[in-house]
Structure 1
């Protein structure tokens, strides 16, 4: 049964960002627990933990709640150092690659996929994504844009092919940087996986011009780790309630906006799903924001957000 030291991933099977974390867990061969959450609102057992943040996935360890995969991966590296994924040559560069695949390439993937299958989506899904994005879920516009986006998607895949070809000629192995797979490979894997799940024929066509990328992708898919323990959302809330956030000294040293520990603040993504999460500021630095929250069901929590891609304001 999951406890205060367990990794709990709130996710759903077809979520590409969840797969990014699942791949890292497999590569590190870590034990973990899975909470299957809905792909659309409401998410009644997630919101008590996050305070309103609704994106997928969310990672929980005890009463510490991690929002956004750009924080989850370095947290896994800090807590579980072997085998390492933040390898020599990946430092900093992995975050840069992650920023590309999570935004530009992911948005292109969304256009390719929904240009193909958007008219097959349930009404509830369309309504949820319209509300989340703040703009209409326009299937006709997606279909019209799909040919252009398919071209752009393949071009971005070919960047991986170019990198692998360069490594092959340099004799540095079969991975994007160096002789071992690491965080850069984890980030880059996500969009091909997402496309294969939804429009596999398109991915296969792209692979015709990218044989090194096809092999690289297959090697990453072959990683086998520990099967997750399936638990309920209430189980995860019970874990948080019986735990305490990991002790961290409150600090906003060198913060550019002069926030102070203990200030009442709110934070939200800067692009879509702008659900503000309120709490008392614990840490604000160049990497992350941690706010303290109290919930009737989950008790005392620390909710962690990355600084990039999020807006922090005083309440």
Structure 2
């Protein structure tokens, strides 16, 4: 039965960023509760928790709300240390790899997938993504660029093959860093999974020239974990209302803009989905910012966001 200490993941099945977190939960063998959230706005049961942030996934533990995949993965490692995913050799490197897989490689995947789907993409989905990105969602342009995008996608997949072929832990049966799968593997898994979910024949064609990567991907897919409990959005909101955020000593550390605890600020992604979230600073330091806020439906919550990839300004 889900309660204030339950890991609650607000996600939808087709989301590649959600799959990254689901994979980490499987690898850590953690129990969790699943809340299916819409892939498009409106998200009336999620926005009260997030203050306007609309991307998936969002992780909730009681009245603590964790936004962005990077913050979610960091929190899972900090709160649930065993089994460890930030293994020796993965520290720092996993964040660098994640910046590539979530950025350059993901955008190439998007172009290929939606260029393939073309007219099958619903108009309301296109309009939603145009509002999210701030630019046209042109599936015709994606389709026209697809031959070049496929070349780029396979070239990036080849980096994984190169890593598996060389140095420590090389050969079939190995992982990207060392002899156990960790966060680098979690990040690298996302885009092949995304491509396979829509155009598996393209992934298979790429695997013909990357056999070590094909073997690695197969082993990643075989990792099993606990079956999640199903939870409604209303139940998740009720858990937030009946919980209090985890107590944190208010602190700012070497803030470049001179932020102080209790100061009201707004935070938004620096790439797309720039919905500014407002709250009072609880903690601000180099790797994260925690905001305290009140919502009539969720009541008192703390929002946890990473600093990399996010802009912070005074309100």
Normalising TM by the smaller chain, what interval? over 0.9
**Counterpart in 2 of 1:301?**
301
Task: In structure 2, list runs of 5 or more residues that go unmatched.
Answer: none
Q: Distance in 1 between matches of 2:262 and 2:26?
A: 38
**Counterpart in 2 of 1:35?**
35
1:118 shift after superposition: 2.9
1:110 shift after superposition: 0.5
**Counterpart in 2 of 1:247?**
247
Q: Deviations over 1:3-50 (max 9, x none)?
A: 111000000001000000000000111000000000000000000000
**Counterpart in 2 of 1:159?**
159
**Counterpart in 2 of 1:274?**
274
Q: In the alignment, is the contact (CA less than 8 A) between 1:8 and 1:33 conserved in 2?
A: yes
Q: Distance in 1 between matches of 2:170 and 2:282?
A: 46
Greater Cα shift, 113-122 or 86-95: 113-122
**Counterpart in 2 of 1:207?**
207
**Counterpart in 2 of 1:227?**
227
1:74 shift after superposition: 1.2
Q: In the alignment, is the contact (CA less than 8 A) between 1:164 and 1:176 conserved in 2?
A: yes
1:256 shift after superposition: 1.3
**Counterpart in 1 of 2:115?**
115
Q: Matches of residues 148-187 of structure 1 in structure 2 within 5 Å? A: 148-167=148-167, 174-187=174-187
Q: Distance in 2 between matches of 1:97 and 1:176?
A: 11
**Counterpart in 2 of 1:16?**
16
Q: Distance in 1 between matches of 2:295 and 2:175?
A: 44
Q: Deviations over 1:246-280 (max 9, x none)?
A: 11111112111110111111011111111111111
Q: In the alignment, is the contact (CA less than 8 A) between 2:169 and 2:178 conserved in 1?
A: no
Task: In structure 1, list runs of 5 or more residues that go unmatched.
Answer: none
1:131 shift after superposition: 1.1
Partner SS, residue 279 of structure 1: strand
Q: Distance in 1 between matches of 2:125 and 2:41?
A: 9
Q: Distance in 2 between matches of 1:298 and 1:49?
A: 6
Does the C-alpha gap of structure 1 residues 244 and 128 become closer, same or farther in structure 2, counting only changes over 3 Å? same
TM-score, length basis structure 2? 0.98
Q: RMSD in angstroms over aligned alpha carbons?
A: 1.2
TM-score, length basis structure 1? 0.98
Aligned length: 315
**Counterpart in 1 of 2:53?**
53
Partner SS, residue 166 of structure 2: helix
Q: In the alignment, is the contact (CA less than 8 A) between 1:167 and 1:176 conserved in 2?
A: no
1:182 shift after superposition: 0.3
1:168 shift after superposition: 6.5
1:170 shift after superposition: 5.3
